[in-house]
Chains A and B, each alone.
Chain A
Amino acid sequence: MTHLLRLQPIFRDILDDDRLNLSEDFSKEQCEDWDSVATVQIVLAVEEEFGVQLPTRLVGNLHSVRQLLDELAN
């Protein structure tokens, strides 16, 4: 839960939507602003916020919040 709370401002910022209520199910398909540049920015911002480095396997194929939460849970 706390991870989701910390992800919310990142997604709001990058997708430029102050009212976005981030849910675990949020994915690329639901947001046309989530393009490949946004993906890179999300990866970099998440790494900065959580002090982690996300594996290449994930960043090449990132399309949902759930993927990030799964990775951060490990």
Chain B
Amino acid sequence: MASLTLNPEQLLDLPESPLAALVAASGAAAILETWAPLLPQLTLIGPDFIGSFLNRIEQEKCVEDLVTHGYLAADSSWSQSPRSHWLQARLLRATGKPAEAFRAFEQILKHGSSLPSQFLLDAASTAIESGEYPMAAHWLSLATRYSTDFHLIQKAVRLYRRLEKSGPLDDLPTLRIALLLDTAPQLIEPILKAKGYAAGIHLEIFSADYNGVDPLLFGDRTPLLDFSPDIAILQLNYRQLEDLHKGETPTEWVSRQAERARRRWSLLSLERTCRILQHTCDLPPSPSDGNLSTTAPHGLSHRIHLLNAALLKTVPENVSIVDTQRLQTSDPSQTWNDDRLWYMARQHPAPESIPVLADEYIALARAHLGYTKKIIVLDLDNTLWGGVIGEDGIEGIQIGTESPEAEAHRNFQIALKQLRDRGILLAVSSKNNEADARLPFEAHDGMYLQLEDFAAFQANWNSKDQQLRSIAERLNLGLDSFVFVDDNPVEREWIRNQLPEVTVIDLPSDPSQFTSALLKGRWFEALAISEEDRRRSEIYRQQAERKNAQQHSSSLDEYLAGLQMIARSGPFDAAHINRAAQLIQRTNQFNLTSRRHSKEVLQQISEDSDTYWTRWFSLQDRFGDNGIIGLIIAKIGGSQWTIDTFLMSCRVIGRSVDSFMLNTLVEAARSSNATQINGLYSPTPKNQLVAEFYPSHQFVKGDSVGGETSFQLDIEQYMPDATPIKVG
């Protein structure tokens, strides 16, 4: 091979791909003398370059020389930059030192959050080799969660398979998904599973064969019934639509197709209702009749648009619509259609689009499990507006419509306001003088968000982890329901390290991308919206006023009496079942059994009033209506009632609502001639608060089995708890 003369100074200016080509043509001498010392300064190199470099080292057999020169030592110049450090870790691993490679990866990834996902995969693979399974699961999850690269996720799939045998995935909650696709499921299944793991869910997947959905639904249903899915996914695609029958009008065709989809929904809801994800139909990319496909009534695109409209017209409560056309256009790979893969493997959409599809399913699965985040904590300077209020002043900051930057920030505020209006709380965490921080809200007419849109406002010189803790305490929210948005990478890393349970958004530097960065992780996906959601911000603001009243009362009793509380209650009926399902998913702290019944299960429970007694509780006081804040489900077994669910929203803790609820339960049991109530406490990492609930309410401790403790209450001996709450 002719030797190249490389000029180090020129190399520094080159992007990755020519560097990768040059290194591929380098001999041992160039590797040792030119490339090795230069590496820490080549900050733009990535997987391609490093792959070529490792390949050359192997071919030229010069690993030993690099070791001799000290490049693989922990304190070598290579460990100064994350990219050369990464190369070092790969070499350490290749030379049979996985433990040292693992430590190198740990150091690299402690700081970098904007490194290529391939770094994380290499790190995860090394971690598996070194037996560091929890760390491997963590890195693998980071690599997989945000990636839409089919090939990268294929690699993650294989690493997850190794990890499955090693334990760290065993404790994840399980969700059963039936993939009823009509197309071949084989390529989608593993990717969906990997995306599930990355989101902290263990998916059990049942797949219908190619063209096997209708035989399964309309024929022998046993396999599906045995599997008993939590979620069923129904696809529709332009490749497999039925043709127009002879003499059939397009309108008749549309109703026939829509009817077919609805029949599938009702068959899936016959024995045990599950959540159904129904695709809309995608559009053919290049129909032979061109524009007429959309314009003429017989055209395929025309009929597809009408079919989708017919599906959306009435959507049952247990059906969520997957908007295929949105996926088709938002897919970064832009390769939705691959005819070759269709002929070859009955794969549709194209493999490159599968990750986007899987992300959509997982977003809805997370919502189904109640993983929706509750609050967005926002920085102010250079986040909600451009510039620094304390330095640039009210005239200097960028917010409104007078400049592109101002408009970008304003549109970010509009998106936040929309989230707030459907129940996601907003809060401010800013290192600022409070007066400065409030000024734009009070005096700048370009601001879209107003002070009353925020459930909490922390502007002081405390550290941000303290500010977040204080918000969590004030609103009685767990930090794992927090999403943190800050333009400053130092603050983001601080929160990541101090409060790892908080979700930290990697805000790009350009404000026009803030909204998409915030929404990318799909943290706020919900299956339905309740009246409660729309009022949530207001409810939490009243909460702050109550805290204020409490500070001005001389005793707790006086404070509670002064609240003038009135409670209402009733069985779970159609008007209350949505909120009941939501509370069951959301309530973590005051929750004695933490049984996460799905809405579908609650529906069945509520209809079976011979076996179950159900009650929702709502609370009103002089500051406003708290809405529904408590639930009880009790199983009726002759003279013994057993508590299945007893929970209360954290925002009314300490106001004797729990006593009121228990009194109501005991009264109902007594009047149906029961003599005993059995209670169960199942500890979770978050419900320590109620560990002593039963003993402090006249229950007697019984057996403890597998961490759960049972308690008994003798109804005849029960003295109703004192409470200032009146029955409404």
Residue ranges of A at the interface with B (Cβ–Cβ < 8 Å): 13, 16, 36-37, 40-41, 43-45, 48, 56, 59-60
Contacts and interface: CB of A to CB of B under 8 A. Distances in A.
Contact of A44 (B155, B158, B343, B351): B351
Contacts of A59: 340, 344
B151 A60 contact: no
**Which interface class (under 10, 10 to 19, 20 to 34, 35 or more) fits B?**
10 to 19
Contacts of B344: 40, 43, 56, 59-60
Contact of B186 (A37, A43, A60): A37
Contact of B343 (A41, A43, A45, A60): A60
B158 A16 contact: yes
Interface in B179-231: 186-187
B84 interface: no
Summarize A's interface: helix, strand, loop or mixed. Answer: helix
B186 A44 contact: no
A41 B188 CA distance: 12
Nearest to B151: A48
Q: Which of A44, A45, A56, A59 has the most B CB atoms < 10 Å from its CB?
A: A44
Contacts of A60: 343-344
Interface string B124-166: 0000000000000000000000000011001100100100000
A59 B347 CA distance: 13
A32 B210 CA distance: 22
17 contacts: A13-B155, A36-B345, A37-B345, A40-B186, A40-B341, A40-B344, A40-B345, A40-B347, A41-B154, A44-B150, A44-B151, A44-B154, A44-B351, A45-B151, A48-B151, A56-B340, A56-B343
A39 to B, nearest CB: 8
Given A40-B347, A44-B351, A45-B154, A16 B186 contact: no
B116 to A, nearest CB: 16
Nearest to A16: B158
A36 B346 CA distance: 11
Contacts of A41: 154, 187
B158 A13 contact: yes
Summarize B's interface: helix, strand, loop or mixed. Answer: helix
Contacts, number: 34
B161 A37 contact: no
Contacts of A36: 186, 345
Interface of B: 150-151, 154-155, 158, 161, 186-187, 340-341, 343-345, 347, 351
B350 to A, nearest CB: 10
B161 A16 contact: yes
Contacts of A13: 154-155, 158
Given A13-B155, A41-B187, 16 more contacts: A16-B161, A37-B186, A37-B187, A37-B345, A40-B186, A40-B187, A40-B345, A40-B347, A41-B154, A44-B154, A45-B151, A45-B154, A48-B151, A56-B340, A59-B340, A60-B344
A8 B341 CA distance: 23
A15 to B, nearest CB: 10
Nearest to A47: B151
A58 B158 CA distance: 26
A19 to B, nearest CB: 15
A43 B351 CA distance: 11
Q: Which of A13, A16, A41, A59 has the most B CB atoms < 10 Å from its CB?
A: A41
Contacts of B341: 40
A40 B351 CA distance: 10
A41 B153 CA distance: 12
Nearest to B350: A44
Contacts of A45: 151, 154
A56 B341 CA distance: 9
A8 to B, nearest CB: 12
A34 to B, nearest CB: 14
Nearest to B186: A37
A40 B347 CA distance: 10
A73 B274 CA distance: 52
B336 to A, nearest CB: 16
A13 B151 CA distance: 11
A40 B343 CA distance: 11
Contacts of B345: 36-37, 40
Nearest to B345: A40
A49 B588 CA distance: 48
Contacts of B150: 44
Contacts of A16: 158, 161
A45 B151 CA distance: 7
Contacts of B155: 13
A68 to B, nearest CB: 15
Nearest to A13: B158
A41 B154 CA distance: 9
